[in-house]
Amino acid sequence: MSKENFFPEIITSLPEADIPIEGLRAHLFQGGNRQILFMSFENDIEIPVHSHEAQWGVILDGELELNINGVKNNYSKGDTYFIPKGVKHSAKIKKGYKDLTLFNQKDRYKSK
């Protein structure tokens, strides 16, 4: 599968999430009380410090720097991360980054 078509049609046919970040494509799978996002970044992005319900992710491609509760870690393809509920965190996401993220929150994002 080429980099341009990283996610197959079974993913790209899901609704797009309404997330106002330039160069981000995110496909949303809505579960009962949780959401799964398949995200792909076309640009380097910095996400400022924030918090929300618990979040777990697996890096499918690219690189991510996460600062979770003041501790910086770098992640790449195959790595997973977990951010507990209410813990402050920020991120530096590199162009080409792709992941699958589970939010323990049914209404974290809306579809477009």
47-91 pLDDT per residue, tens: 999 999 999 999 999 999 999 999 999 999 999 999 999 999 999
**Is 111 inside a domain boundary?**
no
Average pLDDT for 9-28: 96
**Is 3 inside a domain boundary?**
no
Taking the model in full, what pTM does it have?
0.92
Average pLDDT for 30-36: 95
Residue 42 lies in domain:
9-103
**Is 62 inside a domain boundary?**
yes
Average pLDDT, the chain: 95
First to last CA, the chain: 26
Number of domains in the chain: 1
Q: Which two tokens stand for residue 4?
A: 């341009």
Where residue 84 sits, what CATH number does that domain have? Answer: 2.60.120.10
CA 92 to chain CA centroid, Å, is 12
Q: At 4, is the pLDDT very low, low, confident or very high (cuts 50, 70, 90)?
A: low
C-alpha dist (Å) from residue 43 to 10, 12, 19, 32, 71: 24, 19, 14, 31, 24
Sequence-separated (6 or more) residues with CB below 8 Å from residue 97:
39, 40, 41, 59, 61, 62, 63, 64
Please determine, for residue 2, whether its predicted confidence score (pLDDT) is greater than 70: no
